[in-house]
Amino acid sequence: MLEDLIRRNRSYRRFDQNHSIALETLRELVDLTRLSASGANLQPLKYILSCDPETNERIFPHTRWAGYLEDWDGPAPGERPAAYIVILGDTEIKKSITCDQGIAAQSMLLGATERGLGGCILGSIEMEGLRQTLDIPQQYEILLILALGKPVETVEIEEVGPDGDIQYYRDDEGVHHVPKRSLSELVIGEYGKQFRISGAANVKPRSLSEKPTIARVSLAPDGQAVERNTRRRSHCATSRTFRENQRRLPDASASRSRSVSPTGS
């Protein structure tokens, strides 16, 4: 289920460094990005893949980890990523790339999670040092690094508290906690209908200036099924109308020269 995959797809920063990742696995993850959306379908992203321990050791010093954990310098030896995917933008295809790298990174992380792996999207990078280390031509803009491995830490999602603090933190047992805003805080406007157990009811649009509240409107557990059943009944009625119109035709062969619309329009 997609929701379960997204819930398991956390930002992991500590790994079993002895758990190797094959180069073919990295290629499979990049292939997911090839199938993903791209702005104007320009597909300007290029990639550098590394699952070589020596190359990984050269990449690591150019990465910066977990800005909110000020007393932590990143994963220690033995807990570092087993692989990296460097995401580049080909400036000869597009000068400024704004959204493709995020789509690509999420696609690859979901693919990694599905394979029992985990990772972290790194945007804080010592760019010029990495460019020299990997001999990256100036044509390619360094956008992101995906650090990948077998996670050895626990990451838990929790609701943002009354103080509104969204900074992630680690407790005394090393569990990583990530506060998430509530759905009611994210949705600032609603237009349409919601299905309840007692039937359909119009939802009053929320003003964009109205402060979101904690209270939520519960959906019926089978709300989607109600919509699907409604569409099916409409489709069946349309099919009956089509069949009745066919029976009314005086000559079936004459109907080939004209079009009969299932809706009668």
Under 8 Å CB-to-CB from 112, ≥6 apart: which residues?
A: 29, 118, 119, 148
161 within domain boundaries? no
Cβ neighbours of 159 (radius 10 Å): 9
Written as six digits, the tokens of 28 are: 């499979």
The answer to pTM > 0.75 is no
How many residues in the chain?
265
- Answer yes or no: do 137 and 10 share one domain: yes
- Residue-wise pLDDT tens for the chain (265 aa)? 899 999 999 999 999 999 999 999 999 999 999 999 999 999 999 999 999 999 999 999 999 999 999 999 999 999 999 999 999 999 999 999 999 999 999 999 999 999 999 999 999 999 999 999 999 999 999 999 999 999 999 999 999 999 999 999 999 999 999 999 999 999 999 999 887 655 444 444 444 444 443 333 333 333 333 333 333 333 333 344 444 444 444 454 444 344 333 444 3
What is the CATH number for 143? 3.40.109.10
User: Within this chain, do residues 232 and 145 fall inside the same structural domain, yes or no?
Assistant: no
Number of domains in the chain: 2
Tokens of 31: 């292939």
Whether 186 is covered by a domain: the verdict is: no
- What range does the domain containing 82 cover? 2-152
Coil, strand or helix at 48: strand
Shared-domain flag, residues 241 and 121: no
135 and 251 part of one domain: no
178 in a structural domain: no
Residue where a domain stops, chosen among 106, 130, 152: 152
Task: Establish how many alpha carbons lie within 13 A of residue 97's alpha carbon, considering only the half-sphere containing its beta carbon.
Answer: 25
Q: Is position 19 within any domain? A: yes
Q: Are 161 and 181 in contact (CB under 8 A)?
A: no
Structure tokens at 223: 């709300």
Among 100, 117, 152, where does a domain finish?
A: 152
Are 124 and 252 members of one domain? no
Domain endpoint, select from 117, 152, 187: 152
Q: Are 229 and 108 members of one domain?
A: no
CB-based contacts of 143, cutoff 8 Å, min separation 6: 45, 87, 88, 89, 97, 101
- How would you class 173 by CB atoms within 10 Å of its CB: exposed for 0-12, middle for 13-18, buried for 19 or more? exposed
Burial status of residue 121 (CB atoms within 10 A of its CB: 0-12, 13-18, 19 or more): middle
Tokens of 171: 């407790």
Angle made by CA atoms 83, 89, 92, in degrees to the nearest 5: 145
Q: Is residue 93 part of a domain?
A: yes
